[in-house]
Structure 1
Amino acid sequence: MVLAEIRFDKADYQPGDRVKATFFIDMTKIPERVQKLVILLCSGETTKFHKPSDETLYRGEHVYSQSIKEFPFDDLKHLTLLEETLEYELPSFPIFPIKYQDLSVFHQAQVRFESDSGKVFMRRSPPPITKNIPYRINENILQKKAIETEKNGLRIKLSSNVFVSGDNLEIIVQMLNPINHKEIRIELLRKTKIISRSKSRSEEFRNLLLKVKRLEDFPKKFIVPSSLFHSDSGNLYDFTFMLKIIIVKNILQKKSVEIPIQYAKDPNRPIQSLDYCENCGTEVENVSSCPNCNATIVKSRNKTSFKVRNNSSLLLSDHERSRGWKE
């Protein structure tokens, strides 16, 4: 028998399902230095990021749901085989497992071997034993539907309330009544909150999509490429996306409307490497030219997706201009 084996009661689990896992651990193969065994079921994510002030590397952790048991090794010395069962409930909302660059989002069972101080032994003892929980999402759970809202004299239509990786966002803006305005701006807002054990910080990125000054330009229809939703690390779990409509009447007077946008990775396709067309922003895989416009494909790697487009129908953001891109 191997050192540890983990078996699940089902071959597939959906969001909200109850997971039952049985752990089998061969106690005769555990090194004497190990003083504590830990078994757990967990849904969570880990990210790595640098503190801007001193470039210190932090490791952020966030747990959505878990079940855990600890066993002092002295209580188990008389056993040759430990058999223990754990149960926990998967989060009811979809959490897409992914391992990409500095991001790891997971549903898994694990056996850890620890000292009294809680540190996992890295030398002369086994590393943690991990097994992914078989997790699959029914795409119907996303419940896509069109959005229409009327605020401040404008009617805004979005093609869908939920966007899966690869989708484009279609927006139609109509003016219901003439509005006294200097200009109307439409922005895509991306807000994120990065949480570590000791500190948290927030960031906000704005992408100017459209600027309209003339009444005759309405109604206005435009497309937001899927690539604008991607982040440097591929992490979309900490992000909030908002479509912001700003009506500028004069220097001192502004009105704004914010519409939340739910965005998700493809539920059942793990993303290892993302390629984008530099011309139209289409997400592609394992090809050298874009199937949409035949342009050359550029590897994204650590580059922000805000750079991966050159579309005259969209205006560049301040972030892009500062990095040398031109309209």
Structure 2
Amino acid sequence: MEKCINHPNDRGIIIIRPWQMEFCEGDKCAAELLSLFEYWHNIKIRTVEQNKEENDRRIQSGLKPIYSESTLQWHSRDQLIDQLFNRYTHKTIKKSIDLLKSKKCLSQESNPNNSFDKTKFFQFHPEIINEWLIHRSQKKCSENLHNQEGKTTSSIGENYPIGRVNLPNLLNTQNTYLRIQDNKYNVGLCKNETNEKKNKIPYEEIIDYLNKKTNQNYRYTTPKTKELIFSRWKEGFTKKDFYQVIDNMCNKWINDSKMKPYLRPHTLFSTKFESYLNQSDDKLDMALRNNEIGKGTYSVLKMGDLE
């Protein structure tokens, strides 16, 4: 797409959205840092995807994986000041970072590949932001119902006398339902939105189940793992679906030395999740039975197909 202005390439860009200011309690520096960490995290994700594919190819070739699969970020204090266009001091940036850390969307970690390295890396946690945004949306939905015309105090699910409420405005909110009973409107939120317990994503239960099936020790707190589970959950898949995918692929790969390493969150909960959920006897099974994988029969199965 052509641009009306040819921007120079030597400077970045910081976009602040209203919800970021709200999340950061009006701290503009923190909101800008939030946008900055999100930007670099997205770049890291793309890089990690490429590195995983390269490492998988090396493993299949009997070589040691050498590419980083970490989403950790490193920024010096001076770099942060520069990326925020020299508008904040070290002290202000530190205070804003502490705010983000207190909200658990940012943490500082040690170098996982070098125990002697005392450098602190930043780990961005987008799943925390996503969960906050869901809660924020539900709260606004509830407030919209409370503030409707002709109703000074109400609760979700209460009856509204017909003719005393602006119905189009009332229903101009996601996940609302309408029933007419005893000459009254009954308006409320769908069950899956009113019950916060049902909305809670069972990260720990899913990873515990995977660990039991594979005898591994994956952590449910790993940012990338939580991102993948969150993405599939938002697509409408349930805990039962996650268990089924784990069962399906364990049945296929658990006893195969070449395929067993792919029984991991990154592979199972990727964008191919639905195909794993509906697995049946296919070319993959045929390749495994005939022991064709590893003999150059890449027309049957390509490494990229495994994520």
- Give 1 or 2: higher helix fraction: 2
Q: Which has the higher contact order (CA 8 A, sep 6+)?
A: 1
TM-score band by shorter chain is under 0.3
- Give 1 or 2: higher strand fraction: 1
TM-score of the aligned structures, taking structure 2 as reference length: 0.24
